[in-house]
Chains A and B, each alone.
Chain A
Amino acid sequence: MKFKKGIIFSLDGAIAVTVVLIMLINTTYYFTTTSKESLSQTQIIKRGYDVLAMFDYFEQLDNVMRVITPSDDFVPNTTINGLNVSNYLPNGYEMTVFLDDARKTACGGCVLDSANAITALFNIEGLNEGGNLYFQVNAQLTAQTTTNPSFSVRHNGIDYALTGVCLTGACTYTTTSPITGLISGSGNQIQFVRDGSNDFTINWFRVLDDSGYTLSTATTAPDDRFIGTGERWYAAFDSNGHFEGLHRARFSVWIA
């Protein structure tokens, strides 16, 4: 009986001390962690937005779209015709820029005329997700005979209508509905179908909203610290000065 009482008193004391210690440790932890203020994290993000604004003002976002070739896996990070973040970011900061829908497939010699009503099959570059996706194609009207010239895209025997925005001598067409059944990987093929009377030369094409078409600067973001993110939309033109469309630039910024 005496022995049992001793154990109960000891346990009681040990539990009380443990509870107090836990409370003290928790208080210390929260006081310490809250001093890592979120305000300074906001500042990091603001600097990221500033850098994209600078790139846009000096037309570097547009320029880089002109120099990206179908074989590029990364956005160049050179000062001229590239996105060199260190030109604007202070020392100790690091940043990755992602350009959505930046990859494109050149279509050399793609002509739609009376001799070529349907082009050959073209491979679509590797898709990461696939699914139902919009398709974009840039083409130049070489001979116009009707008021609203257009052509269509054919995939798996289904024709998809296009709607275009024309600037500086060429039009960028986008399908009016997503192309269905695009598979992930590189097994998708496409054809272009003439409208019957107008002649076109196709410059390039791409699939929209697949991460396989997103290019980034070759910097890997760390996974063990705060990373701020943001985005900005900008208008881009291709190397021929043809309007490419509106693109989204995203960034991840962190303290190195």
Chain B
Amino acid sequence: MAHKDLAVLDRALDNILMMLRKINGKRGQAAVTDLFVAIGIFIILVTITTVLWNLYNIRLTNRVDYDGLAIKTFQTSDLLLQTTGNTDNWDYLVLQEAAGSNEINYIGLVNGELKVPYNKTLALIQLNETEIKKIFHAGQYRIGIRIRNENGTDIYNFGKVSGTSKYAVNLARNVLYQRTPGGTFDPSTLEVIMSI
């Protein structure tokens, strides 16, 4: 091979090497950019997820607290307004024999469908809220019962029916309330209020 030819080949090889270096440099640059973009997106997503996770965690905890309270209020309300209690003469035992939560399995406020007699509401007051909470295993919840007449005026209050609390659930039902001993049963609204 002539010296001239070798010089041409050498120049050609130099050119190829330069091109390869250029290409390698661009690829490396692209890979690094890709990495940074990926890390950026990852950080953004992790941040969003963390913030949302926190938010949902708070919401979930609140929800669990509230649901627990609501379920307990429904159970209490159903027992009070769908049963006569156990024993069913618990009001007599309270008023006449000073019975307490140890002698009563659970409390019911009605005699017949939705009919709330005077004696049962009187016995409730005599028992007091602490005893009622024991009977219903209400734990940290406060219990209140309010009865309003047809005009919306309060005619009976028991326990905590107002004031500040973190959560409160108020379940109102239509009842027939005997406001005075031996009196008539008049349409009223009975609210079972539980709060925390």
Contacts and interface: CB of A to CB of B under 8 A. Distances in A.
B174 A9 contact: no
Contact of B67 (A39, A42, A43): A39
A90 B49 CA distance: 43
A37 B70 contact: yes
Interface string A40-58: 0011001100110110011
Interface residues of A, number: 25
Contacts of A58: 187
A39 B70 contact: yes
Given A9-B34, A27-B52, A39-B70, A90 B172 contact: yes
A233 interface: no
A35 interface: yes
Contact of A17 (B41, B49, B70, B175): B41
B63 A35 contact: yes
Nearest to B34: A9
A47 B174 contact: yes
B171 A43 contact: yes
B67 A37 contact: yes
A13 B38 CA distance: 8
A24 interface: yes
Given A24-B48, A53-B113, A54-B187, A13 B41 contact: yes
- Decide if the interface of chain A is mainly helix, strand, loop or mixed: helix
A10 B157 CA distance: 68
A93 B34 CA distance: 59
Interface string B52-69: 100010011001000100
A88 interface: yes
A25 to B, nearest CB: 11
B114 interface: yes
A9 B37 CA distance: 11
B174 A88 contact: yes
Contacts of B34: 9
B74 interface: yes
Contact of A51 (B41, B49, B52, B174): B174
Nearest to A35: B63
A20 B47 CA distance: 13
A39 B176 contact: no
A57 B176 contact: yes
Interface in B89-145: 113-114
Contacts, number: 53
A54 B174 contact: yes
B173 interface: yes
B17 interface: no
Contacts of A47: 172-174
Nearest to B73: A39
B18 interface: no
Interface string B5-38: 0000000000000000000000000000010011
B62 to A, nearest CB: 10
A24 B45 CA distance: 10
Given A37-B67, A39-B67, A50 B114 contact: yes
B41 A39 contact: no
A43 to B, nearest CB: 6
Interface in A36-92: 37, 39, 42-43, 46-47, 50-51, 53-54, 57-58, 87-88, 90
Nearest to B38: A13
B174 A24 contact: no
Nearest to B170: A43
A42 B74 contact: yes
B173 A50 contact: yes
Contacts of A87: 150, 187
Closest 10 CB pairs of A and B: A50-B174, A39-B70, A88-B174, A53-B114, A54-B174, A50-B173, A20-B45, A31-B56, A53-B113, A54-B187
Interface of A: 9, 13, 17, 20, 24, 27-28, 31, 34-35, 37, 39, 42-43, 46-47, 50-51, 53-54, 57-58, 87-88, 90
Given A24-B49, A51-B174, A54-B187, 14 more contacts: A9-B34, A13-B38, A17-B41, A20-B45, A27-B52, A31-B59, A35-B59, A39-B67, A39-B71, A50-B173, A54-B176, A57-B114, A57-B176, A58-B187
